[in-house]
Structure 1
Amino acid sequence: MHLESPKNTIGKSSKEVFEFLTEPKNFETLMPDNVDKFEVVNPDTFLFALKGMPEIALKKKEEVPFSKVVLGAASDKLPFTLTAHIAEIAEEKSEVFLSFEGEFNAMMAMMIKTPITNFIGTLSENMSRIE
């Protein structure tokens, strides 16, 4: 399953956006309002839970300086990645979008498509909060 957030323009350089997204604690700023739990587990991993949903642990899998940050499921039970694609469009302006990739059976995909689409959309919108 492949999902993408809308592209979002942020008033920060690609370097600033990249550095923000490579720091797990910063994702708390991007989370939706219905977050029940957020915890940094180690320098590369954080976990969170949305109300009524199980905890999800995300771990940094790959970094391409100033253009891409890949987070993946810390567990192999539900293998997926969440990738932030960053493109500098001016000195202090970047365009960012998120993509979600996961391999799920048809039933699971049908159940999680809408919540995940909403979740990555919210993360993307909240990137305007990057300081």
Structure 2
Amino acid sequence: MELESQKVTVQKSQEELFQFLTNVENYEKIMPDSKEKFEVKSQDTFAFALKGMPEIELQIKETREPEFIVLGSTSDKFNFSLDVVVEPAGENQSHAQLFFHGKFNAMMAMMVKGPLKKFISALADNTANLS
């Protein structure tokens, strides 16, 4: 299953946004309002839970400074990655877009598509609101 967020403009330079998004503690600041739990597990791993969803643990799997970050699930049961693309958009601005790649059976895909689309849209919107 492939999903993507809208491309948003952020009031941070490409380098600033990349640094922000490679610090796992900062993901708590862009989580949706439905966040019930957020916990930093290590320097590159965090866990979170949203209302009505199981806990998910994400790890920074790959980075390509200053434009690309891959967050991957640490669970075999919920196998997916979330790519973040950061593009320059001026001196103190950048564009960010999220791409979700998941391997789910058809039934699971049907159940999670709506909530996942909302989740990545909320992450993008909250990233756009960073100052």
Common fold: TM-score over 0.5: yes
- State the shift of 1:11 in Å: 1.3
CA–CA distance in 1 between the matches of 2:109 and 2:77? Answer: 14
- State the shift of 1:78 in Å: 1.5
Deviations 1:23-50 (A, max 9, x none): 0110000001111100000001000000
In the alignment, is the contact (CA less than 8 A) between 1:82 and 1:101 conserved in 2?
yes
- Structure 1 unpaired stretches of 5+: none
1:1-131 paired onto structure 2 within 5 Å: 1-131=1-131
Other structure's SS at 2:6 match: coil
> TM-score by structure 1 length?
0.97
CA–CA distance in 2 between the matches of 1:106 and 1:52? Answer: 20
Aligned-residue CA RMSD in angstroms? 0.8
CA–CA distance in 1 between the matches of 2:54 and 2:109? Answer: 16
> TM-score by structure 2 length?
0.97
Structure 2 residue identity aligned to 1:38: F
CA–CA distance in 1 between the matches of 2:4 and 2:128? Answer: 17
CA–CA distance in 2 between the matches of 1:17 and 1:112? Answer: 28
Other structure's SS at 2:98 match: strand
Structure 2 residue identity aligned to 1:10: V
Other structure's SS at 1:90 match: coil
Other structure's SS at 1:77 match: coil
CA–CA distance in 2 between the matches of 1:128 and 1:8? Answer: 6
- State the shift of 1:91 in Å: 1.4
CA–CA distance in 2 between the matches of 1:65 and 1:92? Answer: 17
Deviations 1:44-76 (A, max 9, x none): 100000012110000000000010111000112
Question: Matched residues, percent identical?
Answer: 49
Aligned length in residues? 131
Other structure's SS at 1:130 match: coil
